[in-house]
Chains A and B, each alone.
Chain A
Amino acid sequence: MTQRPERHRQIHLAAHFPGVNSTTVWSDPRSGSHIDFSSFEHLARTAERGLFDFFFLAEGLRPREHKGRIHDLDVVGRPESLTVLSALAAVTERLGLAGTVSATFNEPFELARRFAALDHLSGGRAAWNVVTTSDAFTGENFRRGGYLDRADRYTRAAEFLATARELWDSWTPQGRPRPFAHHGEHFRIEGEFTSPRSPQGHPVVIQAGDSSEGREFAASAADVIFTRHGTLEAGRAFYADVKGRLAAYGRHADELKIMPGVTWVLGDTAAEAQEKAAEIRREQVSPQNAILALEQVWGVDLSSYDPDGPLPAIDPEPASELAQGRVKITDPFAVAAKWRALSEAKGLSIRQTVIETTARQSFIGTPASVAEQMAEFVGADAADGFILVPHLTPGGLDDFVGKVVPLLQERGAYRTEYRGATLRSHLGLREPVWKG
């Protein structure tokens, strides 16, 4: 056993609602509705029972397409984030409520107002995960269209957030609106904001995205960064890099919480957990999903290939527009070469290769070993906490809250009660200075 360095480092936990993604096992008989409010309520209440910092919803503004047709293999369809979160505010008391909303296909006045409303309705529990998109495919649903250059994404997002903060700061401490005027590169707006200062002053700001611009944006302006660095080494490197960027903005390392999105599998024994993990990976990568994953790398139709057969001998097609609404694979040749090497070395079929390379779980083991791994991760400065991504809706968090949370509490690594009422207080963040 270690010296329990984690006693001084409290783990932060958040819950992701597993909506549209390729990891939800919708074919499991325990998988319920991903759209009925009762599912959101179940997962949020479970997260609150587990004393989590917040509940997190992703966003997608157009159903994904593959080969010009709507992608039909994973969960499709989701509600609009802020409306669900406003309803969840009524059935939870302390849990933070985080919504992903694009800074590209919205306007600062309206969005600042909607987040202020959520912060008021929830008594100070709102968070905004700021994302951007440069994707003309998504733009086809909006007045704006797909106009935004990739290079302008973060400049617009940064100005968007700065403008929202001007609006949140615009009322007087006496509770009266005061005129604002913002004249910048992306926005020229003026008038009066409609909402008094909300309980948190500014809703908590989350940033997701791993590019250098994304990291810089997070260091300059975010309270939480949502990452995908799932291994201890990658986590430590990312942690050091991002925390190191804060000083340049006059910020302390504690002012930005680093929370990777992680999955877990529990078993009564280590072997049972490994067995369950392998089974979940098989369910996540159906034969059809294996071919789809391959097509996204190769950029061509591979539907005639046998998922249980070998990888294609042909080279990928560069610059393919095969898949729309997904993260683009930047170097398909490198990915294909890696997959081929793995397949040849281990004698893996297409489906087995995809399972090996894409369907990784972060923490596998008994509740005690998962608690220990998590504490070690945080103790080693690889993260401040985790955003848990269950593979089942809506009961996917039940085992974690029932079995792992009490063990984290026993180790002194996790809170045993909410001390404050706002999300900022759960995260140990100060209220922003009112530039009034």
Chain B
Amino acid sequence: MTPPTGRGPLHLAAAIDLPEVHEAAPYAELALLAERGALDFVTLGDSFARPGPDALAVAAGIAPRTGRVGLVPTVTTTHTEPFHVQAAVATLDWVSRGRAGWLVDVSATEAEARLFGRRPAAPREELWREAGDVADAATRLWDSWEDDAEIRDVATGRFIDRDKLHHVDFEGSTFSVRGPSIVPRPPQGHPVRVVDATAPPARETAARHADVALVRAASALQADAARAELRGLAARSGRDPDALRVFAALVVDLGGGECAAEPGHGGGPLPTAQGPAYRGGPVDLAELIAGWHRAGAVDGFHLTPLEPRRDLERLVNGTVALLQHRGLFRTFYPGSTLREHLGLARPANRYAQLAGKPGSLVGEPS
């Protein structure tokens, strides 16, 4: 499908954080609402620094209650074990049947370091370099099983073909992993990696390792500049920039009525402590989304509702419905995996040899 405007199909994602809620049902309700709007994915924030549930566990709890929407929990890389992180994300992909993502983040504070007592706080630049190592090691571990490693060959008594399992022997500056993973290659090959690339220390890591980069931008111009920079960095690191989706990240407050923006807001986002915030009606938000996308500034939007239940409902029933009505956003999921929603190919396995393996010819351009 060739879209009438913009650089490609419009993508939409939303945060469904509910501070202080530890049961699954309220999250599942929000995820189902997002799914009704055919959103690409929902995110769950996480941090050891403030009260709140484990995002990956919540995402797993939502998985069987939903059918299509992508599930992207935050998992930090500073105090966690890379081997456990990749296994948990791969498992989320198995339990959601190919809908897992991973919002990669770091834990930069001294307070977080004291919760673990293993290493002192480090500068963000270092932590983001390490996060890149963790993301890199994770994809190697996801590839450490070839897709057809399980053979169940009764004649030879072999359950797997051991030649299709690989040690990864990853050596980072702060950790090493021998591999292979304990989890067979997940349905998407590589679950989708998302990085908030707003702050400079995260940008290089996002360009190298993210499938989706989030950029907190206050204008189309700002978003466009960030997108161009990320694509340039991606190309310089040897990636195809078209394999990177850049989303504008906005806080949205849709409590102000059907159409009218706050006086003086002009319909555009204003800076707040949580980043650029849009305040107004669902119709004006649809205008903003259509405008930025038409200008080619972004591939999509990640929206963080100020009041989750209220704003997500207005977003789906108002903004999304309007974008769909105008033919700017899909009305159903043509595929079943998060990669398919995002138009990203299932990556080829780096360890699979090309000879005699037609499956490995299908993959993202390198």
List the interface of chain A (C-beta within 8 A of B): 26-27, 35-37, 41, 60-63, 69-80, 82-84, 86-87, 89-91, 105-107, 109-110, 113-114, 116-118, 120-121, 123, 140-144, 177, 187-192, 194-196, 198, 286-289
Contact = CB atoms under 8 A, between A and B. Distances in A.
Interface stretch (B110-118, B239-247, B295-303): B110-118
A194 B162 contact: no
Interface in B77-113: 79-84, 87-88, 90-92, 94-97, 111-112
A159 B332 CA distance: 52
Nearest to B152: A26
B275 interface: no
B57 A117 contact: yes
Interface in B56-90: 56-58, 60-65, 79-84, 87-88, 90
A79 B95 contact: yes
Contacts of A86: 56-58, 60-61
A72 B161 contact: yes
A78 B58 CA distance: 20
B126 to A, nearest CB: 15
Interface string B117-151: 11000000000000000000000000001000110
B350 interface: no
B92 A194 contact: no
A82 B267 CA distance: 44
B182 interface: yes
Contact of A83 (B60, B118, B161): B60
A79 B159 contact: no
Contacts of B97: 37
Interface of B: 22-24, 28, 48, 50-54, 56-58, 60-65, 79-84, 87-88, 90-92, 94-97, 111-112, 114-118, 145, 149-150, 152, 154, 156-162, 165, 174-180, 182-184
Nearest to B170: A141
Contact of B178 (A60, A76, A83, A140): A140
Nearest to A118: B57
A121 B24 contact: yes
Given A84-B91, A86-B61, A110-B48, 12 more contacts: A61-B83, A63-B165, A70-B165, A72-B160, A83-B92, A86-B56, A89-B61, A90-B64, A113-B54, A188-B117, A189-B117, A195-B22
A70 B180 contact: yes
Nearest to A29: B154
15 contacts: A27-B154, A37-B97, A60-B182, A70-B165, A78-B183, A80-B182, A82-B57, A86-B56, A90-B63, A113-B54, A121-B58, A140-B176, A177-B51, A196-B22, A288-B156
